[in-house]
Amino acid sequence: MNNNTQTNETKHTDPVCGMEVTESGAAAKYEYNGKMYYFCAPGCMNSFKKEPDKYLDPNYKPSM
């Protein structure tokens, strides 16, 4: 089986852990201030929901 197929799907960075996810492969998504954010796991989304401004701060560095 070949898993190296290329897709044109948009990639997003999980704002909590920094992992790259696609829209269809995201484990969770959440809209905040009119923008949709995609997450690798529900735990990352829950952390984001509690403190979105922390994770959107340009000085925040994901610790993956």
Show the tokens assigned to 50.
């509690």
Domain assignment of residue 45, yes or no: yes
For the residues 35-60, what does the mean pLDDT come to?
A: 97
- Domain tally for the chain? 1
pTM, to two decimals: 0.83
Per-residue pLDDT at 1: 45
Domain coverage including residue 35: 12-56
CA end-to-end span of the chain: 29
**DSSP summary character for residue 6:** -
d(CA 28, CA 60): 21
Domain assignment of residue 20, yes or no: yes
Domain assignment of residue 32, yes or no: yes
Domain assignment of residue 47, yes or no: yes
* Among the listed residues 3, 43, 41, the one whose alpha carbon sits nearest the alpha carbon of residue 25: 41
Domain assignment of residue 33, yes or no: yes
d(CA 15, CA 2): 30
Q: Is residue 16 over pLDDT 60?
A: yes
